Amino acid sequence: MAWRGSCAGHRGERQAWTIFGIYDLSEQMGVSPWYWWADVPVQHKDELFMKPGRYAQGPPAVKYRGIFLNDEAPALTGWVKEKYGNYNHEFYVKVFELLLRLKGNYLWPAMWNSAFNEDDPLNPKLADEYGIVMGNPTTSHAARATGVEASRHRPLDYSKNGDVLRSFWTKELIATKTTKALRRSVCAVTVTCRCPGKAMSNCWNESWLTSERSLPNASIAM
C-alpha cells in the first residue's frame, strides 16, 4: 500500500493476495470476518485514520489454505435448501468471502448429492473471480462430483466400463483447462483411490491417469 497525494493505493502480487489486503483493512476498520456467518456486529467508528507511508505484507507461509464442507447433511444442507434452494452461487459467495477474510483460498465443496460445477454454472465462474482454488473431495476424481454425476455412467468399474468412465473424466478436464482459472493455475485436480461409499472397486485406472497427464496446465498431485 502506498500514498498518492491524499489518496491511498493498494495492490497485491496475486489476485487473492490483493483481496487479503483489502479485507485486512476492513477488519482493522471494525468488520469481523464473521460479520455475516456469526452475526458479529460491525464496530462503529466516527473517524478512520491512516498514517502516510508504504506498508507491505509478505506472501502467505502456506500457499493453499482452506476447508472441506464435509458431512454437510442434514444440518447445513437443510439450511441451504431453505435459504437458497441448493448449493448455488448465492451460497458459495458467502463461503468464498469468509475464506478470503480469514486469508484462505482453497475449498473442497459440499459433496452429498451435490455437484459444484453442475448445480450452478456460476459456481466455478465466481470461484475464479474471487481467486478461490477449487479442489475435490476424496471420492470425486478429476474435477467431477463422482458420487452424484457418475450415477449416470455406472458401473463404476473401469475393467467393465472403461470407455464411458474415461470419457466422463476426460471431458471435464478438457472443459476445466480452458477456463481462466486453470490457465492461471488456480484450479487443483484431485486424484484419489477412494470410491463413493468407501467401496473397493476398479473405479480408477493408472493407465488413464498416465495418458491424461499431458493435458496442458493440468496440475495433478498424488
Which class is 66-221 in CATH?
alpha beta
Contact criterion met (CB below 8 Å) for 132 and 106: yes
Q: What is the pTM of this model?
A: 0.72
In this prediction, residue 85 carries a pLDDT of: 95
Considering the chain, what percentage of its residues have pLDDT values greater than 70? 59
Per residue in 172-214, pLDDT (tens digit) is 666 665 554 444 444 556 555 555 554 444 554 444 444 444 4
Domain ranges of the chain: 66-221
Written as one letter, the residue type at 112 is: W
End-to-end CA distance of the chain: 38
Please report the pLDDT score of residue 15 as a whole number: 73
**CB-side neighbour CA atoms (13 Å) of 144:** 24
Q: What is the pLDDT of residues 101-146, one digit of tens each?
A: 999 999 989 888 888 887 898 998 899 889 898 887 766 655 566 5
Which tens digit of pLDDT belongs to each residue from 39-93? 999 999 998 888 888 888 777 788 889 999 988 989 999 999 999 999 999 999 9
> In the predicted model, is pLDDT for residue 98 greater than 70?
yes
- Helix, strand, coil % over all residues of the chain, rounded to 5: 40, 10, 50
Q: If DSSP codes are grouped into helix, strand and coil, which group holds residue 81? A: helix
